[in-house]
Amino acid sequence: MSTKRPFPAVPAYDLGYLLRKLPDGQRIIKASPDYYVVNNIDGVTDVNEDGKTPEDALCSFAIYLFKQGLMKRWAK
């Protein structure tokens, strides 16, 4: 049984929504055509989350911040 989807995956949250919900001081970097990195611009926080799309990278970063208690659950 193949797990390949017949169509591209649709992100649960769009990029603009994720950007507006993250705390100040975050940046997203396009490291290569298929690789994005999100990290804190203060240079102190040694946390990098990556993904194949900017949405994946930002979502991973938001999950990390939430687990650390640095980001709170928001209402829809």
Domain boundaries, the chain: 24-67
Q: What is the mean pLDDT of residues 41-59?
A: 76
Least trusted range by pLDDT, from 9-13, 23-27, 68-72: 9-13
Could you identify the residue written with the tokens 């938001």? 62
User: Between the CA of residue 16 and those of 2, 46, 68, what are the distances in Å?
Assistant: 32, 24, 23
Mean pLDDT of the chain, nearest integer: 76
